[in-house]
Amino acid sequence: MLVTLGCSWTFGVGVGYTQNLGQAEYESIAWDNDLCNTLSFRGLLSTKYNLANKNLSSGGSSNQKQFRLAKIFFNSYEFKKLQKKFDQIVVLWGITSTARNELFFIEDGQLRNFFYSENSQLAKSLVKFSYDHQNEVDLLQIEMRHWNNYFENLNIKNLWFDTFNHHDYWDSYWDSYKSQYETNAGPDWPTWEKFCCQDFSNVSSEIINEISDTSRWGWDLGLLSNLVSRNKNPRDLLSQLAINNGCTDIDNQYHKSDWDVDSNRVSYLVDRGILNPHSHHPTRVGHEQIANILDEYIRASFC
């Protein structure tokens, strides 16, 4: 079984778009469950490898919402039954924009997901007094390391991927290891600065394995082993799509995925039919290309 978590890109919002489809028609089919379950990259990979897919992703979801849903699911009786039913479970988890959150609203008595880019008093106040991108990334890597340990204890393989923004998962606490790293680094190792950014471009897999050997350090690098495209910078799916389709001038503007063209990666891929022109989600061709990016990781996980 493949368990998937993430936002609209993982869910498959917009995968049913066809060329010249108007906005109103598009919105009527954008969240169609059958289309999303079948034509999204999670659907394509599940079909290819004959996997049942338990999907927890949803359109517009924040990372906070996904962590909450994961805690509910992996502590549920349903999950205990699935553990007995399936010989192997793999978790594929897409990290979304940090510019989102989930809070409980007293006025309607429920949890609500929202974007910090919304034109609301709450969003504006939180951006001014509370939201800090780097702090959110630091919190993300703590959560990711926790879930790595959790899944390892259950003998479940898990994979992380950045959806449409590259994040440097590094905690300032680890800066204390800089001198140890530089003392032990071999001639072909990346600099400490590149290591902190997890920039392993042009670094061989043998060297990465040397660096990742926890017995060498006595401390766990954690995310290196199960982060999709960990040796690429940028590694996120949006950037990888742009690069794979010939874009050589990526601006790396932070994409909030709120239907605005806020990065040249978006406009570039819309022009090539990889993203749709209305909500800028991947088209069917886009999902096929994402499935190709993820294929080797899914195949290796189920071997």
In the chain, the percentage of residues whose pLDDT exceeds 90 is 70
* Mean pLDDT to the nearest integer, 276-299: 97
Our CA angle for 205, 209, 212, nearest 5°, is: 135
Q: For all residues of the chain together, what is the average pLDDT?
A: 91
What are 172-202's pLDDT values in tens digits? 556 667 777 888 888 889 888 787 766 778 8
Q: How many CB atoms lie within 10 A of CB 138?
A: 15
User: If you count them, how many residues does the chain have?
Assistant: 303
Residue 178: the pLDDT is 79
What are 16-52's pLDDT values in tens digits? 999 999 999 999 999 999 999 999 999 999 999 999 9
HSE-CB for 150 with a 13 A CA cutoff: 15
HSE-CB for 76 with a 13 A CA cutoff: 10
* Mean pLDDT to the nearest integer, 206-221: 71
Our CA angle for 139, 141, 145, nearest 5°, is: 120
Residue 231: the pLDDT is 77
Both tokens of 166, joined, read: 């590259």
What are 246-281's pLDDT values in tens digits? 999 998 889 888 878 889 999 999 999 999 999 999
Calpha distance 251→269 (Å, rounded) = 13
In sign, the C-alpha dihedral spanning 203, 207, 213, 218 is negative
Calpha distance 251→235 (Å, rounded) = 14
Residue 15 has pLDDT above 60, yes or no: yes
Residue 220 has pLDDT above 60, yes or no: no
Both tokens of 84, joined, read: 């007995």
What are 82-123's pLDDT values in tens digits? 999 999 999 999 999 999 999 999 999 999 999 998 889 989
Residue 303: the pLDDT is 78
Q: Are 112 and 106 in contact (CB under 8 A)?
A: no
- DSSP calls for 214-243: HHHHSS--GGGGTBTTTT-SS-SHHHHHHH
User: Which residues, 6 or more positions from 172, have their beta carbon under 8 angstroms from its beta carbon?
Assistant: 138
Say what the pTM is: 0.86
Residue 222: the pLDDT is 47
Residue 176: the pLDDT is 66
User: Which residues, 6 or more positions from 65, have their beta carbon under 8 angstroms from its beta carbon?
Assistant: 58, 102, 111, 113
Calpha distance 38→275 (Å, rounded) = 18
